[in-house]
Amino acid sequence: MHQFVISKFRSYHNAVLEFPQGVVCLVGDNGAGKTNLLEALSLFAPGKGLKGTNASNWHHKGDLEASWTLKLSLQSPTGPLVLETFESKGKRCITMNGVRLKHQLEISQWISIHWITPAIDRMWNQGWWARRKYFDRIVFTLYPAYGKYLQSYQLAVQERNRALKSQASSFIFDALEEIMAHNSVKIYKIRQEALKMLGIFLQLFPSFPLLSLETHGEFESLMACLTFNEKDLPHQESELKKYWKTVRTKEFHKGTTMFGPHQCQWAVTHPNSQEIASCSTGEQKSMLLSLVLAWSKAIKHFHPKEFHFLLLDEVSAHLDKMHRESLWKALSELDMCVWMTGVHQEVFSGVLAKAWVRIKQLEEQSTLFIKRP
């Protein structure tokens, strides 16, 4: 059994949850604290967690002085792994077996967490940025080095945007575009690799749509024209630098960088040739689940020794019986920690869960009990 201890986080004053590997169903009324529990777990991934909110929202209401703490103790074949995240001097810190990580991204060496929530269901119609953020999260869990390249690239783009607004001197642009070019090539390569891998793993779930995944954009078109092997890297980087240099004058007026992997459009197409944005709500849900299942197989393939969590908030909404039954079967065969929430236990009928947790509105003290199905 693994253990999760939550202290002064959102609706939880103090909660202890012991849970097994496999599928865990969290059942409770509206407002009982199911999503808060998933959000707490999602903070063992770098970033702002499943709701994408600021840390100021995480304090247990009325307890602003005391800081929140989340502790995840996992049993691995080589011994216990204790991960903790908490707030210290306004910053989120993470420790592994008591040793503080220098950077949040480092946590991906031990654990990867992926989630889908009703907000992600709506993402497809919200514009390319929302999809790109989601895609980047998938790619990062599969290829942890990607996070570093993406972060360096994004920082350089922010600096370049500032330089465009202040019409800085050309040597500043040269230096920033050098960093952007180096990281862009890596980002492109890793994204293409991730698409290829997801494409392979999607085929393992015939009950779900076999999606076609592609990236589009001016940057992607240019990269596709440049041949691709390791010895071409200097050539690709210099072509990108040339491109950014030629568009500087045009971009001075806009004050923003218009070309690069940050403008990538991630297209997801149903086998019926409809792009996901024009598919029905239920089709979109089954497409999202195809991706999630492909991710699960890919992550186990690439990182077999690490811990993997899949968090599915209100997952059964919009799914027909056939997809629901196929999903329950696929999840029970995944051999990872899958946490699902639902208001009624009946929605999980047919789930081969390892544990059921009944969550009640919790006030001062809360201990969560595991029930065998």
Torsion of CA 335, 338, 342, 346, to 10 degrees: 10
> Which residue in 7, 35, 67, 366 binds ligand ATP (CB under 6 A)?
35
42 touches ligand ATP (CB under 6 A):
no
343 touches ligand ATP (CB under 6 A):
yes
Stretch that binds ligand ATP, among 23-31, 74-82, 178-186, 201-209 (CB under 6 A): 23-31
Please check if 32 is assigned to a binding site. yes
Helices (H) and strands (E) in the chain, counts: 9, 13
11 touches ligand ATP (CB under 6 A):
yes
Site for ligand ATP in 190-219 (CB under 6 A): none
**Residue of 134, 143, 133 whose CA lies nearest to 196:** 143
CB of 149 to ligand ATP, least distance (A): 34
57 touches ligand ATP (CB under 6 A):
yes
**Residue of 176, 153, 151 whose CA lies nearest to 163:** 176
> Beta partners for 12?
9
Q: What are the distances in angstroms from CA 65 to CA 53, 88, 89, 279, 283? A: 19, 12, 12, 47, 46
Q: Which is nearer to ligand ATP, 228 or 369 (CB)?
A: 369
Please check if 89 is assigned to a binding site. no
227 touches ligand ATP (CB under 6 A):
no
> Which residue in 6, 7, 10, 83 binds ligand ATP (CB under 6 A)?
10
Q: Which is nearer to ligand ATP, 32 or 223 (CB)?
A: 32
31 touches ligand ATP (CB under 6 A):
yes
- Alpha-carbon Rg for the chain in angstroms: 22
Q: Under rule CB under 6 A, how many of the chain's residues touch ligand ATP?
A: 15
SS3 label, residue 267: strand
Q: How buried is residue 149: exposed, middle or buried, by Cβ count under 10 Å (0-12/13-18/19+)?
A: buried
13 touches ligand ATP (CB under 6 A):
no
Stretch that binds ligand ATP, among 29-37, 140-148, 168-176, 201-209 (CB under 6 A): 29-37
Sorted by sequence, the CB contacts under 8 Å of residue 263 that are 6+ apart come out as 128, 217, 218, 219
30 touches ligand ATP (CB under 6 A):
yes
Torsion of CA 242, 245, 249, 253, to 10 degrees: 110
Q: Which residues are annotated binding-site positions for ATP?
A: 28-35
The site for ligand ATP (CB under 6 A) is made up of: 10-11, 28, 30-36, 57, 59-61, 343
